[in-house]
Amino acid sequence: MKITQQAQDGIINLAIAGRLDAVSAIEADKEFAKVLDAGNDRLLIELSQLEYISSAGLRVLLVVAKRIQQKGGKVVLCALVPNVKEVFEISGFSSIFKIFDNTADAAVFLKG
């Protein structure tokens, strides 16, 4: 798993590539904690390169969503590949997260 970070207009764009599973969830948790501890409250998580997500990966994203919500911020997901999107739909996480097809639409929502 690899997470790349880019900041633009007060929005932190985090792109996750590879697998977000029990092994990589610990590293992902640390990366997200650094971003949130730095005071960021608008996150765009781009998943076009995420090949697989397990329940441990879902938990990491849920913790991020709860922390952002407590700060009064927003977190959105975008560009989910079909198999990852299916996991979100089956698990019910698609009702927890605002999901967009592309980064442009997600960024517009976060700016609003």
Q: Is 16's pLDDT higher than 90? A: yes
CATH of the domain at 11: 3.30.750.24
As beta bridge partners, residue 7 has 12
Of the pLDDT bands very low, low, confident and very high (cuts 50, 70, 90), residue 112 is confident
pLDDT tens, residue by residue, 59-89? 999 999 999 999 999 999 999 999 999 999 9
Note down the domain range covering 44. Answer: 2-111
Percent of the chain with pLDDT strictly greater than 90: 97
Q: Exposed e or buried b for every residue in 32-49, given b needs 16+ CB within 10 A?
A: beebbeeebbbbbbbbee
Q: What pTM does this model have?
A: 0.95
- By the 8 A CB rule, do 50 and 84 touch? yes
Domain count, the chain: 1
| pLDDT score at 109 | 95
Q: Could you report how far apart the first and last alpha carbons of the chain are, in Å? A: 31
